[in-house]
């Protein structure tokens, strides 16, 4: 993702009520924060937040937490949430490597990974959000019966992710190499990147998997 330095974004985020600032102190307290026992779903690397905002609007009985490491992108999601004020949506600016410091074992019911950065060099494979290292982190925070949905147009990254799921002993519930022309197309909520890449003619791959 090409990133511009958005002036003042750090300051705006620091003051925003929808951003959790001391995220590690929230570990084990997410249901308390939302004020209900509804399941908690997270999107890791949410970018400008279109997907998670659409999901939060469509599913008021699910709590959503969007995770993004860059202020310059997160600010765009915050601007939209400032207008909509969805009660079941919060954001964290953080590096996903530290998810286990922020969510208790079993605290998260579902994880979405959309168009994650490919990290094409072999030596960076463990930084990919679908590497066995990340799958182990997700496994800890996921509740019984929880899972991960991963979408991408990057076939190499997708094949790598399926292999990593096998290596981690995860099971795959559904796999498609062309989501928009598949039996799973109905009800699919598009992300910003998905819209961009599918309009260029790239097929979208998707896997639903669980530990």
List the catalytic residues: 117
**Hunting for tokens 């498609």 — which residue is that?**
176
∠ Cα 186 202 165 (to 5°):
75
Q: Match 């599918």 to its residue by tokens.
A: 198
45 binds ligand SAM (CB under 6 A): yes
Spatial separation of the C-alpha atoms in residues 183 and 187, rounded to whole Å: 10
Among 9, 63, 81, 114, binds ligand SAM (CB under 6 A): 114
- Over its C-alpha atoms, the chain yields an Rg (Å, rounded) of 16
Q: Closest by alpha carbon to 209, among 175, 163, 186?
A: 175
Nearer Cβ to ligand SAM, position 97 or 178? Answer: 97
**45 vs 146 by CB, closer to ligand SAM:** 45
Any contact of residue 77 with ligand SAM (CB under 6 A)?
no
Is the four-CA dihedral 141, 103, 9, 50 of positive or negative sign? Answer: positive
Q: Which of 42, 55, 67, 141 binds ligand SAM (CB under 6 A)?
A: 67
Nearest approach in angstroms of CB 124 to ligand SAM is: 11
The answer to whether 205 contacts ligand SAM (rule: CB under 6 A) is: no
- Considering the rule CB under 6 A, would residue 70 count as an interface residue with ligand SAM? yes
Contact flag: residue 193 with ligand SAM (CB under 6 A): yes
DSSP track, 115-140? S-----SGGGGGGSTTSHHHHHHHHH
SS3 of residue 90 by DSSP: strand
Site string for ligand SAM, 153-182 (x = CB under 6 A): ------------------------------
Contacts of 131 (CB under 8 A, 6+ apart): 125, 164
Q: Which CB sits closer to ligand SAM, 40 or 157?
A: 157
Q: Which is nearer to ligand SAM, 43 or 107 (CB)?
A: 43
Q: Does 46 bind ligand SAM (CB under 6 A)?
A: yes
**Contacts to ligand SAM by CB under 6 A:** 1, 45-47, 67-70, 73, 95-96, 114-117, 191-194
């Amino acid at each position: 993702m090409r990133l511009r330095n958005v002036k003042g974004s750090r300051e705006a985020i620091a003051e925003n009520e929808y951003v959790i600032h001391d995220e590690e102190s929230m570990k084990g307290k997410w249901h308390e924060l939302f004020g209900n026992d509804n399941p908690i779903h997270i999107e890791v690397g949410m970018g400008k937040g279109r997907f998670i905002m659409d999901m939060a609007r469509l599913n008021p009985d699910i709590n959503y937490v969007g995770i993004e490491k860059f202020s310059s992108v997160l600010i765009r999601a915050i601007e939209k949430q400032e207008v909509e004020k969805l009660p079941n949506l919060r954001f964290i600016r953080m590096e996903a490597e530290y998810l286990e410091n922020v969510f208790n074992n079993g605290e998260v019911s579902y994880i979405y990974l959309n168009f994650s950065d490919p990290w094409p060099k072999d030596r960076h494979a463990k930084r990919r959000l679908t590497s066995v290292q990340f799958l182990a982190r997700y496994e800890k925070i996921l509740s019984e019966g929880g899972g991960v949905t991963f979408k991408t147009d990057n076939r190499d990254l997708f094949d790598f992710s399926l292999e990593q799921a096998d290596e981690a002993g995860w099971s795959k519930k559904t796999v498609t190499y062309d989501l928009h022309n598949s039996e799973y197309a109905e009800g699919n909520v598009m992300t910003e990147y998905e819209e961009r890449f599918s309009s260029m003619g790239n097929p979208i791959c998707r896997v639903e998997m669980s530990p």
